[in-house]
Structure 1
Amino acid sequence: MNVGTDVGIGLPIGDPAALLTWARRADAGPFSTLGLLDRLVYDNPEPLVALAVLAGATSRIRVQTEVLLAPLRDTALLVKQAATLDRMTGGRLVLGLGIGGRDDDHQATGTDPRTRGRRLDEQMAVMSRLWHGEPYGDGVGPIGPVPARIGGPEILFGGFRPAALERVARWGDGFLCAAAPSWAGGLFDTVRGFWKEYGRDGRPRLMAQVNVALGPPDVIDDARGRMHAYYAFTGMADRMVAGLLTTPAEIRAALAAFADLGADEVVLYCYGIDPEQVDRLADVL
């Protein structure tokens, strides 16, 4: 693995009470980030609430939504929640954002899935203004607290379509890529192209995600079963589970491949609930 590539842990959702153990072990180890996915109509912890608890139990590791489904949420309240968590963690919040792919999540919130991308762009315009301390508008003042960084926490966007990749350059700090190295290179190049097209300084932060399970057969079987249930709605659960990395050699190879593509960080996403995996993954590094 190339020097300079951080490695994070994607937290499992099957046992919320165990996440404190995961977080403390990761904070004591070589890991850079704790990531947590977002769904509404599913048996998972709400990520901003859960990450607030985990941030209070750790001291240095970043906490990241991976990704938060912003179109499901009230914009002004999301501004306040994210700024609060960012400020209280000393800037350790990374806000990964996306639009999601489940109609039932939108049904539960009364939002229209057909306009979710447009809504996210509208939300970003409002959130950016408010995180810069500007008034909400129409006689409504600013919404505090001021985040740790003026302009708000670091923003990463997930997605695969051109509109999602362009959104990185329009509103974000970087890209969260949930694709294999063979596909990720093209996505990274597209993001870099949009970044240059928009005249952005520096370069986008590039983060990759791979699904892993490390341990005895029962740990791997548990991860496969939970992962299959989570992706059942896609109709491609078998293919997703087939891509699960289950050996140190496979994990090291993926880390090296993403590093060679220029990834700044790779998040090892876990579905199995055994917290001993944190120490096993640390040994891999």
Structure 2
Amino acid sequence: MAMKIGLCFPYTQESLDRDLSLEWFKRVDEGPFSTLSCGERMIGTSVDMMALMGAAAAVTSRVRIVPTLYVLPMDPAVKVAKHAATLDLLAGGRVSITVGIGGRVWDYQCMEKEPVARYARMDEQVAQIRRVWAGEIPVEGGEPIGPALVKPGGPPILAGVMGPKATARAAKWADGVYSWSGNGNGEEMRVQQARVVEEWEKAGRDTAPERVAGFWCASGPNADENLKNYVYKYIKVLGEGPAKAMAGMVDRSTPDAIMQSLDAYEEAGVEECWLNTATADLSEIDGIEDIIAKRG
């Protein structure tokens, strides 16, 4: 089966408003895309992931809705369980969720959480989410947490992990893995996908992992400039040096370059690729649709 392609909503863009957001939802839902995702950040210009995904779930009818990702150690597990179940209700069972530890200490500080023991906390939080979905009462004297699940067991849970230790941990509880290479590097993705398969085998899992991945790209006017500016702004919070280095490296800004990465991802075993576009301009969707048509 050919690799599916989804889009990440351009959640950090200052140009967003109601009409543009609704048009994005409509275009993705009516287009050749498999998934609409959205990231979670606190600092910066981003919209709220939970609110945005709720709106998308309510006004779409086909495309899969995937929060990507809940920075789980900074969020209450019961709240995430309730939000994901509500999201799936609004979407009519089209939701999967992705969880990870995030990379910005400032987001944790905004949420009044310490960024310590994050992987261990995430392991326990995933277990807690599934207990909530199973109807376990989370506090003495309380009641089960609703709403009722649309599908048995709740939405599938993907792990946003990359390294060996993190992947090994995720293999014990995740339904799949969301992998990442900022510039769509085929060799990086080959290594990550081989690791996912290996760790699932070591964990003795009887079901194969869902294998999803993503990269940054630009396909509209002034694509190269837009891509470099976007990546610089996105990384700048980590320092001027890293931001300039990453912005200088990214070049998935032509149809051929994007196609090259998509082909490499598919060859590495990725089943679905979620593209993160550099702007919220609708020309980004036009460009990706053309690329999908050319891939056949």
**TM-score of the superposed pair, with normalisation by structure 1:** 0.93
- Alignment correspondent of 1:11: 9
Could you tell me how far apart the structure 2 residues matched to 1:154 and 1:183 are?
A: 25
Shift of 1:135: 2.4
Are 2:223 and 1:202 equivalent residues in the alignment? no
Pick 1 or 2: higher relative contact order, CA cutoff 8 A, min separation 6.
Answer: 1
CA contact (8 A) 2:227 2:253 kept: no
Equivalent residues in 2 for 1:33-182, closer than 5 Å: 33-179=35-181, 180-182=185-187
Structure 1, gaps ≥5 residues long: none
Residue identity matched to 1:221: E
Q: Which one-letter code corresponds to 1:265 in the other structure?
A: E
The ranges of structure 1 where at least 4 consecutive aligned residues each deviate by more than 4 angstroms after the TM superposition are none
**Match of 1:207, SS?**
strand
Q: What letter matches 1:238 in structure 2?
A: K
What letter corresponds to residue 12 of structure 1 in structure 2?
A: P
Percentage of identical aligned residues = 32
User: Does the CA contact (< 8 Å) of 2:63 and 2:94 recur in 1?
Assistant: yes
RMSD, matched Cα: 1.6
What CA distance in whole angstroms lies between the structure 2 residues aligned with 1:167 and 1:8?
Answer: 26
Quick one: distance in 2 between partners of 1:139 and 1:213? 52
**Rounded Cα–Cα distance in structure 2 between residues aligned with 1:284 and 1:187:** 25
3-state SS of paired residue (1:171): coil
Partners of 2:93 and 2:147 in 1: how far apart? 13
Question: How many residue pairs end up in the alignment?
Answer: 282
Q: Which residue of 2 aligns with 1:232?
A: 236
SS in 2 for 1:238: helix
**Alpha carbons 1:22, 1:275 under 8 Å: kept:** yes
Contact (CA 8 Å) 2:135, 2:144: kept in 1 or not? Answer: yes
5+ residue gaps, structure 2: none
Where do residues 237-252 of structure 1 align in structure 2 (5 Å cutoff)? 237-241=243-247, 242-252=249-259
Cα distance in 2 for partners of 1:220, 1:24 equals: 26
